[in-house]
């Protein structure tokens, strides 16, 4: 009897979710959603678990979120998985996070390939452990011909460093006459960033109640709509992504106009 009720409840929940998805798809869906996945450590602490347990749970949420983003027709999902500042964390935690792409892609890559998802990465590759980079590059290679959702991992990413590197490259291109400084405009500058060929995020989500950008996509977020939630990343469910999108759909974006 109990199982029957549970089954009915699950079916009922998933049909509600399906209905909600269909309803949301009637209005414009943000093309590019970027997420600062925060709160893994606090989630673990609340359960008297080591911090890495929170990261592991967070990885499962990456999977669920990717599936739903694909289902909704979002074109790009950028996930802030590790910042250039995160190296300051305890060694065991950093090592653990660096193993997650392998675990995630080891299990999920076949589904990503099948579902037409294209994996990308932005960030400084040189400092990443070889095993991490290898897993990511394999996924990038094996999904490079897919043209569905772009799943873009920000890994060892820092926005200020990205901007400085872009400026250095612009200067160097001007000096060597590849570019004329009078041709520099916002569009051209964007093409020097790690997000070249991507649209700017339409919606930024940050979990765990922190209201800051933490050196994430500072240039690209100029006109993005922000949605903050107290929910910790491991507790971030489909309903939260749908709520964020619904809020986005009710906002008026004026891009500086009236």
Contacts of residue 165, Cβ cutoff 8 Å, sequence gap at least 6: none
User: What are the residues facing 225 on neighbouring strands?
Assistant: 203
Do the annotations mark residue 55 as ligand-binding? yes
User: For ligand FPP, which residue of 55, 120, 206, 240 counts as binding (CB under 6 A)?
Assistant: 55
Active site residue 86: yes
Active site residue 10: no
Check residue 38 for interaction with ligand FPP (CB under 6 A). yes
Q: How far is the CB of 93 from ligand FPP (least distance, A)?
A: 8
* Helix, strand or coil, per DSSP, at residue 124: coil
Report which DSSP code applies to 82: E
158 binds ligand FPP per the rule CB under 6 A = no
Write out the two tokens for 125.
Answer: 């590759």
Is residue 119 a contact partner of residue 143, using CB atoms and an 8 Å limit? yes
The answer to whether 148 and 115 have CB atoms below 8 angstroms apart is yes
3-state helix/strand/coil string of 144-190: CCCCCCEEEEEEEECHHHHHHHHHHHHHHHHHCCCCCHHHCCHHHHH
Annotated ligand binding at 83? The verdict is yes
Cα distance between residue 69 and residue 35, in whole Å: 12
Which residue out of 86, 146, 173, 215 is catalytically annotated? 86
- The CA-atom distances, in angstroms, between 197 and each of 3, 42, 76, 172, 200 are 50, 36, 11, 21, 10
CB of 14 to ligand FPP, least distance (A): 24
Residue 173 Cβ vs ligand FPP, minimum distance, rounded to whole Å? 33
From the list 156, 90, 149, 161, the residue with the least C-alpha distance to 127 is 156
Q: Which of 41, 123, 158, 201 binds ligand FPP (CB under 6 A)?
A: 41
**Residue 39 touches ligand FPP, criterion: CB under 6 A:** yes
Contact between 154 and ligand FPP (CB under 6 A)?
no
Closest to ligand FPP by CB, 20 vs 42, is 42
Site membership for ligand FPP, residue 233 (CB under 6 A): yes
- Contact status: 42 vs ligand FPP (CB under 6 A): yes
Who contacts 129 (Cβ-Cβ below 8 Å, separation ≥6)? 95, 98
Q: Of residues 29, 68, 77, 104, which one binds ligand FPP by CB under 6 A?
A: 104
Chosen residue from 52, 59, 112, 245 binding ligand FPP by CB under 6 A: 59
- Residues involved in catalysis: 38, 86
Which residues contact ligand FPP by CB under 6 A? 37-42, 55, 58-59, 62, 81-82, 86, 97, 100-101, 104, 153, 208, 233
């Amino acid at each position: 009897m109990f199982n029957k009720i549970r089954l009915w409840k699950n079916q009922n929940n998933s049909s509600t979710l399906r209905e909600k998805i269909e309803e949301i798809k009637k209005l414009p869906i943000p093309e590019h959603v970027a997420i600062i996945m925060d709160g893994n450590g606090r989630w673990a602490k609340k359960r008297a678990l080591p911090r890495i347990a929170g990261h592991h749970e967070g990885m499962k949420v990456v999977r669920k979120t990717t599936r739903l983003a694909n289902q909704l027709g979002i074109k790009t999902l950028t996930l802030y998985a590790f910042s250039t500042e995160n190296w300051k964390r305890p060694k065991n935690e950093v090592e653990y996070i660096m193993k997650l792409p392998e675990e995630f892609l080891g299990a999920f890559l076949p589904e990503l390939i099948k579902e037409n998802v294209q994996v990308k990465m932005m960030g400084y590759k040189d400092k990443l452990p070889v095993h991490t980079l290898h897993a990511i590059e394999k996924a990038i290679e094996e999904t490079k011909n897919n043209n569905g959702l772009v799943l873009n991992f920000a890994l060892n990413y820092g926005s200020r460093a990205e901007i400085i590197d872009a400026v250095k490259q612009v200067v160097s291109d001007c000096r060597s006459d590849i570019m004329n400084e009078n041709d520099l405009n916002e569009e051209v500058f964007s093409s020097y960033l790690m997000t070249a060929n991507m649209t700017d995020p339409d919606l930024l989500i940050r979990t765990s109640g922190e209201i800051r950008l933490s050196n994430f996509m500072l240039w690209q977020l100029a006109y993005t709509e922000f949605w903050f939630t107290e929910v910790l990343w491991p507790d971030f469910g489909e309903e939260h992504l749908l709520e964020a999108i619904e809020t986005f759909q009710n906002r008026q974006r004026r891009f500086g106009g009236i």
